[in-house]
Amino acid sequence: MQKPPISKYRAYPTISLPDRQWPDRTIDSAPYWCSVDLRDGNQALAIPMNVDEKVELFKTLVEIGFKEIEVGFPSASETEFAFLRRLVSDNLIPDDVSIQVLVQCREHLIRRTFESLEGIKKAIVHIYNSTNPLQRRVVFGKSKEEIKAIAVEGARLVKELVPSLPGTEIRLEYSPESFSDTELEFSLECCEAVSDVWEPTPERKIILNLPATVELFTPNVHADQIEWFCRDLKRRDSSIISLHTHNDRGTGIAATELGLMAGADRVEGTLFGNGERTGNLDIVTVALNMYTQGIDPKLNFSNLNEIREVYERVTKLEVPQRSPYGGDLVFTAFSGSHQDAIKKGFALKSDNESELWAVPYLPIDPADVGRNYRAIIRINSQSGKGGVAYIMDKEYGYQLPKDMHKELGKAVNRIADNTGDEITPEAILACFNKEYINLKEPLSLKEFRSERIDDNTVEIWAVAIYNGKKHNLRGVGNGPIDAFFKSLEDIEIRNYELLSYNEHSLGKGAKSKAVSYIRLQGANGIDRFGAGIDTNISMASIRGVVSALNRLMTEM
């Protein structure tokens, strides 16, 4: 990096718009969406998609709900041309979907593009030419008038060729490429000149696409550009103002959202933001951002996992783990406080879809985009008791008493600290079984039966191994647990107080098991939980007592 003072770069000028209106506006409806995955996204791939892959992605885009899809640059290569003809020959284009084709303002390319459109019902011919000062000087060596003339001639040829496709409804789209770095007055001049040729009406609008081909400044400046342009455009009621942002500064999404507030009607972008350099606009994020504000985005991402699977397979790209909505970890909490808050939020959540979504740390219900609740809470050394309890409940059906959360959480965290890795649900269950269910020392129960003598008396008989010796036990009490404690006094196990008892069934049906959670306190004031599982609820409670006793006695 250059040392101060920095002379290699300059700040781009802001827009003089003292009465700007966009900061006080909100987005209250979905724009027209146009996917450019098959063109802009495809050209950014190290290995471009083949025809079959493009067909599969096209079908996915249609299923999502895109009504405008830019399918490529058919005049650029035989592969692009063949793909478009495949869509026609296989009758893959729904009647309500417009196929968009991109072409430079060059005569032979425009003519070849029209050849590719034979048999298509609705098409958008998207012409463009570079307008910014740097490209005028460095690439083309042309004046403003010469650059504008290129755009005008392209528009005239498109208008001339429209009658050659009488069965096709054709709309014109024009882009002053690098709008972001072109003088606003000159961008407007070029767009007005193209509109003069096309003569749009409110019923047959022209699309004026204003691309931030390279993102050069903060999103508010982009919004000022869009508002200025919308204000000064003569045929505003006959024009659709389209955005096409890139992400060089990492704010392409914000620039698009502010651009919509500034008056734009349409958005071009790609799934998950694939595009040149740092990428195009991520339509998934912008659409679902709208959804979380109560706006119907008119795109269906209910099966986001499946959409992502197709995207990753045909593009050979991976959606980053922290990519909004679609990443592996975006509905995952490792922090203990976050896990606890999420768990409590889900516990209070109603199944009534009309009620406001309100779960801490989750701005959207993962189920709305087809995500699996299994991934919401994952455990590592930073995790807390709430996350462990959530996994035990949602994965395995154990509804641990609240005071037991801390005990099991500490045991799981010890494993995480030792391994330094994430702990899977299977490992959490194994830890629970080791800590509570599979304890056999110093006391184990071999046989147990009980009989109610009267309403207030129960007698039990048991065979137990204590410190390696077998004992036949008998006890009488007001219930099975009380009678069992009385029997243990014969082998010098005494002075333990029952603090709490909870139980519930694991699963449904006659063959389901019961689980008990027993909390005991020893004479020294230390208390511990135990857990027991059995098809018989009384036996489950006795096993829970044995578990708690073993945990207390091993700590003495």
Q: Give pLDDT tens digits for 336-394.
A: 788 788 888 888 887 777 789 999 999 999 999 998 655 555 566 566 667 788 889 88
The domains located in the chain, with CATH, are: 29-314 (3.20.20.70), 336-435 (no CATH), 443-553 (3.30.160.270)
Q: Would you say 301 and 369 are in contact if contact means Cβ atoms under 8 Å apart?
A: yes
Q: What is the pLDDT of residue 335?
A: 77
% pLDDT > 90, the chain = 79
pLDDT, tens digit, for every residue of 245-281? Answer: 999 999 999 999 999 999 999 999 999 999 999 999 9
Of residues 95, 127, 96, 97, the one with CA closest to residue 111 = 127
48 CB-contact burial (10 Å; exposed 0-12 / middle 13-18 / buried 19+): middle
Q: What is the pLDDT of residue 379?
A: 62
Q: What is the pTM of this model?
A: 0.77
Q: What is the pLDDT of residue 413?
A: 84
Phi, psi of 462 (to 5 degrees): -145, 155
Q: In what order do the strands lie in the sheet with 457-466?
A: 443-454, 457-466, 469-477
Per-residue pLDDT averaged across 381-410, rounded? Answer: 84
Q: Given a cut of 90, is residue 508 above it in pLDDT? A: no
- Average per-residue pLDDT for the chain: 93
| Residue 60 parent element (H or E) | helix 51-64
Q: What is the pLDDT of residue 312?
A: 96
Q: Given a cut of 70, is residue 51 above it in pLDDT? A: yes
Per-residue pLDDT averaged across 530-543, rounded? Answer: 93
pLDDT, tens digit, for every residue of 229-239? Answer: 999 999 999 99
Q: What is the pLDDT of residue 191?
A: 98
Q: Output helix, strand, coil percentages for the chain, rounded to the nearest 5.
A: 40, 20, 35
Q: What is the pLDDT of residue 556?
A: 60
pLDDT, tens digit, for every residue of 73-96? Answer: 999 888 899 999 999 999 999 999
AA identity, residue 349: K
Question: Running DSSP on this structure, what letter comes out for residue 179?
Answer: G
The residue with greater pLDDT, 417 or 236, is 236
pLDDT, tens digit, for every residue of 461-488? Answer: 999 999 999 999 999 999 899 999 999 9
- Residues whose CB falls within 8 Å of the CB of residue 186, separated by 6 or more in sequence, listed in order: 131, 144, 148, 176
pLDDT, tens digit, for every residue of 112-145? Answer: 999 999 999 999 999 999 999 999 999 889 999 9
Q: What is the pLDDT of residue 376?
A: 57
Helix axes 425-432, 402-419, angle to 10 degrees: 120
Would you tell me how many other CB atoms lie within 10 Å of the CB of residue 556? 8
Q: Given a cut of 60, is residue 104 above it in pLDDT? A: yes
